[in-house]
């Protein structure tokens, strides 16, 4: 008995767009997040403020809020003492690849470049996915990254909100660290 081999025919291109394979446009290695080493004065000031707020919350019977406050202080301590790892970022014809995940162009609404802690960041809004904003540390490849991003997503810096202005005012009036 002869086994019947299924006949495979090429798919018709009618009704479908052109298939484009993913192609790498820009690739760079950089830190996974901006990093600022722990400033002892800032940490001590933050802990003192947290202890005062924690005592007030304990007196009010808010035990869970005290635990959340302690977790935030611990997380800040860890982010400030553990330097970030180097990761690979890729901009391809399908989107941005980082940490083993592809963020497709359709998920992105706008992007801009900003500076934080002496690091240049590519910030990309992705409102339909998590996280809502990608913050990618840039390296020497910044011009190539700009050129690649401009082809696919709108470059637009968001307007400063009232919350942004309030945060800047607080940081200016009540600095936690000496300049």
Beta bridge partners of 116: 119
Burial of residue 118 (CB within 10 Å: 0-12, 13-18, 19+) is exposed
40-46 average pLDDT score: 75
1 vs 95 pLDDT, higher one: 95
Question: Which two three-digit tokens encode residue 39?
Answer: 């400033």
For residue 2, pLDDT beyond 70: no
166 vs 119 pLDDT, higher one: 166
pLDDT tens-digit map of 136-150: 888 777 778 888 888
Residue 4: the pLDDT is: 57
For residue 78, pLDDT beyond 60: yes
Residue 179: the pLDDT is: 56
**Which residues have C-beta within 8 Å of that of residue 87, sequence separation ≥ 6?**
29, 30, 31, 32, 98, 99
- Band of pLDDT at residue 176, cut at 50, 70 and 90: low
Least confident span in 33-37, 84-88, 168-172:
33-37
The C-alpha atoms of residue 71 and residue 176 are separated, in whole angstroms, by 19
**Cα-only R_g, the chain:** 24
Burial of residue 93 (CB within 10 Å: 0-12, 13-18, 19+) is middle
Strands 86-92 and 24-31: antiparallel
Question: Which two three-digit tokens encode residue 160?
Answer: 């400063």
Using a pLDDT cut of 90, give the percent of the chain over it: 0
| CATH no., domain 24-167 | 2.30.29
For the question of whether the overall pTM of this predicted structure is more than 0.75, the answer is: no
């Amino acid at each position: 008995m002869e086994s019947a081999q299924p006949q495979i025919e090429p798919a018709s291109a009618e009704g479908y767009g052109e298939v484009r394979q993913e192609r790498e446009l820009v690739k760079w290695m950089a830190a996974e997040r901006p990093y600022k080493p722990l400033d002892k004065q800032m940490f001590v000031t933050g802990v003192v403020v947290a202890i005062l707020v924690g005592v007030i919350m304990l007196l009010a019977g808010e035990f869970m809020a005290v635990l959340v406050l302690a977790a935030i202080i611990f997380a800040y301590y860890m982010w400030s003492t553990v330097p970030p790892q180097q990761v690979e970022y890729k901009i391809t014809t399908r989107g941005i690849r980082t940490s083993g995940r592809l963020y497709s162009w359709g998920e992105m609404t706008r992007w801009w470049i900003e500076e934080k802690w002496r690091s240049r960041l590519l910030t990309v809004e992705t409102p339909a996915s998590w996280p809502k904003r990608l913050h990618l540390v840039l390296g020497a490849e910044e011009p190539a990254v700009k050129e690649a991003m401009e082809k696919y997503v709108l470059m637009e810096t968001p307007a400063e909100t009232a919350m942004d202005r309030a945060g800047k005012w607080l940081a200016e009036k009540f600095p936690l660290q000496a300049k």
